[in-house]
Amino acid sequence: MIVKEEFLGRLRKIFDLNLYEVKVWAALLSRGTSTAGELSTISDVPRSRTYDILESLEKKGFVVMKLGKPIKFVALKPEEVIERVKRNLHSEAHEKSKRLEQLKGEDVLKELNSLYTQGVKFVEPSDLSGALKGRNNLYNHLDMMIRGAEKSVTIVTTAEGLNRKMESLMQSLEKAKKRGVKIRIATQITKNNINIAKDVGKIAEIRQISDFRARFCIIDSEEILFMLLDDDKVHASYDIGIWINTEFFASALEQLFEMLWCNLKPVK
């Protein structure tokens, strides 16, 4: 069996398989039906591991065991495998989400909060900072900050950033609005985001920036998350942000923003 390593690597990432699993699966696909011994020879996977690998693939929905002597394994159509994997992922995600939701009323969460609270007492305010890499991580952290906002959320972003942020953060911003949090957004307005900007206007004050690009967020004049790179020139995986919990710097930046805000044109 000749399968390029690059292709096997792609299959591993797509289907979340280890190296032995993807080799045995590819070998079985090339044969349709085969024994563990044959698959071991074709895939170069140790015979002692092949049965365990095939059992794992069977549980994940990639193969079917055919009873008889010798025991054979049957490859499923790739389309069917995709559907099975999707169903398994949905089921696992639902179960995990359910377990995590149940933690809210259990002692485990109380103990975790107790550990966190005690730990924070020993942390200097100046130490409450961190670097975040990857746009998903940045937005996850920003979402957490917004969910904890009590007074204000100030966002300065690019035209492209507005579209992405509203897709990721709209729900948290709506809840913040209902809590009475003041939300202000300054961004560039283009034909590609004007409709989104109008929708955002229902929950936030939004005004147009025309002469510079910036990316940062201030929460309650206490926390700041600012991005170091231009999102037009960096891949999402390499985007970098710095989070700082500092009332001194955050309030100063908020005051500078106030001067800018007064000169910006509201979006209608």
pTM of the model: 0.61
Q: What is the pLDDT of residues 7-52, one digit of tens each?
A: 888 888 888 899 999 999 999 999 889 999 999 999 989 999 999 9
Q: Is 7 helix (H, G, I), strand (E, B) or coil?
A: helix
Q: What is the DSSP annotation of 93-135?
A: HHHHHHHHHHGGGSHHHHHHHHHHHHHHHTS-GGG-EEEEESH
Model confidence at 145: pLDDT above 70 = yes
Q: Looking at domain 5-87, does it have CATH number 1.10.3730.10?
A: no
How high does pLDDT run on average in the chain?
88
CB atoms closer than 10 angstroms to residue 222: 23
Domain 127-266 belongs to what architecture? 2-Layer Sandwich (3.30)
Mean pLDDT value across residues 113-120? 68
Model confidence at 121: pLDDT above 60 = no
Q: What is the pLDDT of residues 84-111, one digit of tens each?
A: 888 888 888 888 888 888 887 777 788 8
Cis amide prior to 266 (ω within 30 degrees): no
Mean pLDDT value across residues 64-86? 86
Model confidence at 215: pLDDT above 90 = yes
Model confidence at 185: pLDDT above 90 = yes
Q: How confident is the model at residue 120 (pLDDT cuts 50, 70, 90)?
A: low
Model confidence at 77: pLDDT above 60 = yes
Mean pLDDT value across residues 199-214? 91
Break the chain into its structural domains and give their ranges.
5-87, 127-266
- Which sign, positive or negative, has the C-alpha torsion 239, 163, 136, 132? positive
**Integer Rg of the chain from CA:** 26
Model confidence at 166: pLDDT above 80 = yes
Q: How confident is the model at residue 241 (pLDDT cuts 50, 70, 90)?
A: very high
Q: Is 37 helix (H, G, I), strand (E, B) or coil?
A: helix
Phi-psi region of 16 (alpha: psi -120 to 50; beta: other; left: phi over 0): left
- The residue written with tokens 């967020």 in the block is 217
> In this structure, are residues 168 and 139 in contact, taking their beta carbons and an 8 Å threshold?
yes
Model confidence at 73: pLDDT above 80 = yes
In this prediction, residue 140 carries a pLDDT of 93
> In this structure, are residues 85 and 61 in contact, taking their beta carbons and an 8 Å threshold?
yes
The fraction of the chain above a pLDDT of 90, given in percent, is 53
